[in-house]
Amino acid sequence: MRATIFGASGLLGKALMREWSEDAVTGLGLRDVDIRDAKSVQQALQESRPEWVVLAAAYTDVDGCEGNPELAFAVNREGALNVAKAAKEAGARLLFLSSDYVFDGKKTTPYETGDARNPQSVYGRTKAEAEIKLQELTPDCCIARTSWLFGTGGKCFPDTILKLAASRPALDVVNDQRGCPTYALDLARALVQLCRKNASGIVHVTNAGDCTWFEFAQEIVWSAGLPTTVRPVSSQQMARLAPRPSYSVLSPARLQAFGIEMPSWRDGLQRYLEERQD
């Protein structure tokens, strides 16, 4: 199989390039192609002639999106449409990376793939609108929603916690937002399997289990053997520019229907910590 990855220089893109070893894979970073430029996207796919296109390129700074909505929509919605159109012209299937931020966080049970979108932030709106437009343009595309991504080779929550814990005796972390931490390598493996299974429609892809950011931080500090105290606080006490879903646990039912099982987030965290030490 031939595959082309947009966003190959990002945290997930790097993991995909590492994991997708048995096929002919072309990795394109921002220096290679800006997905806002439809012609360069089209040219890239004409050259690589993929059977699958994975769109992992995005503007993912959630607070940055709130302050710069024009850029957020240009990359996350219009850029995604450029890739989808070029993939369709090239006769390639598309896998698009989306987010738990398409939901409002008001549920108390895991979100199913068919639950109504109701994004509360600019970032969430860009992803939700991209999903709708991509499904209209390419009905056989696969939309993989994920959440709380972490891994080596990029900025992520565990990296931030470890750096802060190395120099501070205590950390305050929000305890009223619950979701599913997802290790980039586990996500990458699942995405490769989805492509190989010719998946279509919406699939939720996260590590198994859920926690709050406070519980996640506690596990990170404890697993790393650091003496730092982690204290629970409310989202109001740690106000951010963009609203976060208070509950964004994603149901794995459709992923499991494809015969794909994800390890627990704690298992992923242990492997992340080991990888970080190498």
Instruction: Give dist(CA 94, CA 124) in Å, integer.
Output: 20
In a domain, 23, yes or no: yes
What tens digit of pLDDT does each residue of 167-191 get? 999 999 999 999 999 999 999 999 9
183 residue type, one letter:
Y
Instruction: Give dist(CA 236, CA 234) in Å, integer.
Output: 5
Pairing of strands 178-179, 211-212: antiparallel
Three-state DSSP at 167 gives coil
Instruction: Give dist(CA 244, CA 183) in Å, integer.
Output: 20
In a domain, 140, yes or no: yes
Find the catalytic residue in 123, 183, 247, 272: 123
In a domain, 133, yes or no: yes
**Domain assignment of residue 22, given as a range:** 2-155+180-207+249-264
Which residues fall within 8 angstroms of residue 68, CB to CB, at 6 or more apart?
none
Note if the pTM is more than 0.95.
yes
Active site residue 123: yes
In a domain, 85, yes or no: yes
pLDDT attached to residue 242: 87
Closest C-alpha among 232, 159, 188 to residue 54: 188
Say which CATH number the domain at 81 has: 3.40.50.720
Quick one: pLDDT band at residue 78, thresholds 50, 70, 90? very high
What tens digit of pLDDT does each residue of 110-124 get? 999 999 999 999 999
Closest C-alpha among 174, 146, 162 to residue 224: 162
